[in-house]
Amino acid sequence: MNIRKTITHDRPIVLLGGGGHALSLLEAFPPLTRAIGYTALEPSPKMPVEWLGDDETFRCLFKPEDVVMLCALVYGGRPDLSLRRRIIESFIGYDFATLIAPSAVVTDNCEIGEGAEIMHRAVINRARIGRNAVVNTGAIIEHDCSIGDNSFIGPGAVLGGEVEIGPDCFIGMGTCIRNGVSIAAGTVIGMGSVVTANITQPGTYAGSGNRLRRI
- Sign of torsion, CA 50 51 56 60? negative
Cβ partners under 8 Å of residue 101, min gap 6:
28, 30, 118, 119, 120, 121, 122
* 143 is annotated as an active-site residue: yes
Catalytic residue from among 9, 21, 120, 143: 143
CA 81/CA 183 separation, integer angstroms: 15
CA 139/CA 157 separation, integer angstroms: 5
> H/E element holding 83?
helix 82-90
DSSP-based helix, strand, coil % in the chain, nearest 5 = 15, 25, 60
Sheet strand arrangement including 176-177: 105-106, 123-124, 140-141, 158-159, 176-177, 194-195
Could you give the residue numbers annotated as active site?
143
